[in-house]
Chain A
Amino acid sequence: MEKKNDKLFIIIAGLVIGVIAAALAFAGNPKNMGFCIACFLRDTAGGLGLHKAPPVQYIRPEIIGIVIGAFVAAFAKKEFGSKGGSAPMTRFVLGFFAMVGCLMFLGCPFRMILRLAGGDLNAVFGLVGFVAGIFCGIFFLKNGYSLKRTYTLTKSEGYWMVILEAVTFVLLIARPAFIAFSEEGPGSMHAAIALSLGAGLIVGVLAQRTRLCMVGGTRDLVLFKETRLMLGFIAILVAALVTNLVLGGFKLGMVEQPIAHTDGLWNALGMLLVGFACVLLGGCPLRQLVMSGEGNADSAVTVLGLIVGAAFCHNFGLASSPEGPTPAGKIAVIIGIVVVAGIGVLNTYLKADTAEPARDAA
């Protein structure tokens, strides 16, 4: 019974999130970008001056809302707790390269769904790569991959991410001279602050209650034939698609899609890197944000990895543009796939203290 209600709840949550995400693009956010955790962390990094790409600088209230929404939901249900200590630097590096993959494709897994829902067929290549990347990660999971356990940390540890988000929000409202605001480009397109924050809060609460995760859907389906998280993924797609059709945001095709390029191979490879890194992390960028709000310091470090990754991508010309990927970006994605595979090998086969799976199977 519980299981049935669980599924119904995640479908309803997915539908609500899909409508909100598609509608935000009509309230001022860039097209097919009502939500994009990667793009919004990148914009926030730009707003804080961590990179100097003028079109993508804006502290996104959606990110703040998601973290605080997840915090409130977890706190209210007594699920908040300071936890961490499971390979933080490895998670930082995985977060860094997940962002490199996202900015090759121009979107996180969440935006990939929204691009599909907007009729952007380039995202189909992204989806193929994404699923392939998840399979790469699952290969390691099945063979003994582990980043080791988490521990309960000092009480204050879990609050830092929430405090940082609150401070960032104050900077957004106060607009001191050192905070950058894009005057043109995607960073200049945004819904009203209250609307963005409200949308983020709702998504944060729902994602915390349902454990919604874009990589978790495919992972659980493959590993356990469990459809719950996948239903959330599909519900977002359907709701966003219908909202786009009703509001006129649906444009089927590959060419001249908003904030997208048409290089299929690199769209796929970028998302392969994202899927791969996120399975080894245990969750997509949205899920990492939510868990950081629940007090998980490992996820908070992952979010910092994503932010630093975004800053590097724009400081060193690794991020794609609607014209296509950059040569440096392609090299970075290849390096990323190699590094993530290396992390998989190191934490699967080269652990001195882990008995080999074959012996246990016997």
Chain B
Amino acid sequence: MNTYIATFFMHFGSIRYERMCKAKGYEARTMPVPRSLSSSCGTCVKYTASEPLYDPDHDEMEQMVICNDDGSHTRIYQAEGLELR
């Protein structure tokens, strides 16, 4: 099992995504984006699953990271048309 954090452009994106995770039986919760991940003040969903979950129907996801054991993050997805550092 891995822990992932998906960040969103607007709040409702994360609310919808959290519902999607829970519908699949994943443990998930919506929260403010960790400061270490972004200077923006959006919301994110932290969830535990064996595979990352994508939602091709909506373009609300900004980025997704996998949480490493040492507390760092590795980015596994970023929205098109967006350069993240």
Binding site for B on A (CB under 8 A): 1-2, 6, 74, 77-79, 81, 83, 86, 141-152, 208, 210-211, 213, 216, 220, 223-224, 226, 228-229, 282-283, 287, 291, 294, 354-355, 357, 360-361
Q: Assess the B16–A360 pair: CB atoms within 8 A.
A: yes
Q: How far is the CA of A152 from the CA of B41 in the complex (A)?
A: 17
Count of inter-chain pairs, beta carbons less than 8 A? 89
Q: Assess the A224–B32 pair: CB atoms within 8 A.
A: yes
Nearest CB of chain B from residue A90's CB, rounded to whole Å: 12
Nearest CB of chain A from residue B57's CB, rounded to whole Å: 7
Q: Assess the A152–B39 pair: CB atoms within 8 A.
A: no
A213: chain B residues at CB < 8 Å are 41
Q: How far is the CA of A208 from the CA of B13 in the complex (A)?
A: 24
Q: How far is the CA of A235 from the CA of B57 in the complex (A)?
A: 42
A151: chain B residues at CB < 8 Å are 81-82
Contact with A along B37-57 (1 / 0, CB 8 A): 011111100000000000001
Q: How far is the CA of A86 from the CA of B13 in the complex (A)?
A: 14
Could you list some 20 contacts between A and B, CB below 8 A? A2-B35, A2-B71, A74-B39, A79-B85, A83-B82, A141-B15, A142-B11, A143-B12, A148-B9, A149-B59, A149-B62, A151-B82, A211-B35, A226-B32, A228-B32, A282-B41, A287-B41, A355-B57, A357-B15, A361-B19
Q: Assess the A208–B9 pair: CB atoms within 8 A.
A: no
Nearest CB of chain A from residue B22's CB, rounded to whole Å: 9
Known: A150-B82, A287-B41, A360-B20. A224 touches B31 (CB 8 A): yes
Q: Assess the A148–B10 pair: CB atoms within 8 A.
A: yes
Q: Assess the A152–B16 pair: CB atoms within 8 A.
A: no
Known: A2-B71, A149-B59, A152-B81. A223 touches B11 (CB 8 A): yes
B40: chain A residues at CB < 8 Å are 211, 291
- Give the interface SS of chain B, mostly helix, strand, loop or mixed: loop
Among residues 65 to 81 in chain B, which have CB atoms less than 8 Å away from a CB atom of chain A? Answer: 71, 79, 81
Nearest CB of chain B from residue A5's CB, rounded to whole Å: 10
Nearest CB of chain A from residue B78's CB, rounded to whole Å: 10
B34: chain A residues at CB < 8 Å are 2
B12: chain A residues at CB < 8 Å are 141-146, 357
Q: How far is the CA of A1 from the CA of B11 in the complex (A)?
A: 25
Can you add 7 more A-B contacts, CB < 8 Å, to A143-B12, A146-B11, A146-B60? A145-B11, A223-B11, A226-B32, A282-B42, A354-B58, A355-B57, A357-B15
Q: Assess the B85–A149 pair: CB atoms within 8 A.
A: no
Q: How far is the CA of A360 from the CA of B58 in the complex (A)?
A: 12
**What are the 4 A-B residue pairs with the smallest beta carbon separation, nearest first?**
A149-B9, A146-B10, A79-B39, A152-B83
A228: chain B residues at CB < 8 Å are 32
Q: How far is the CA of A152 from the CA of B84 in the complex (A)?
A: 9
Q: Assess the A360–B19 pair: CB atoms within 8 A.
A: yes
Chain A CB within 10 A, most for which of B12, B42, B59, B82: B12
Smallest Cβ-Cβ distance to A146: which chain B residue: B10
Nearest CB of chain B from residue A206's CB, rounded to whole Å: 13
Smallest Cβ-Cβ distance to B17: which chain A residue: A360
B57: chain A residues at CB < 8 Å are 355
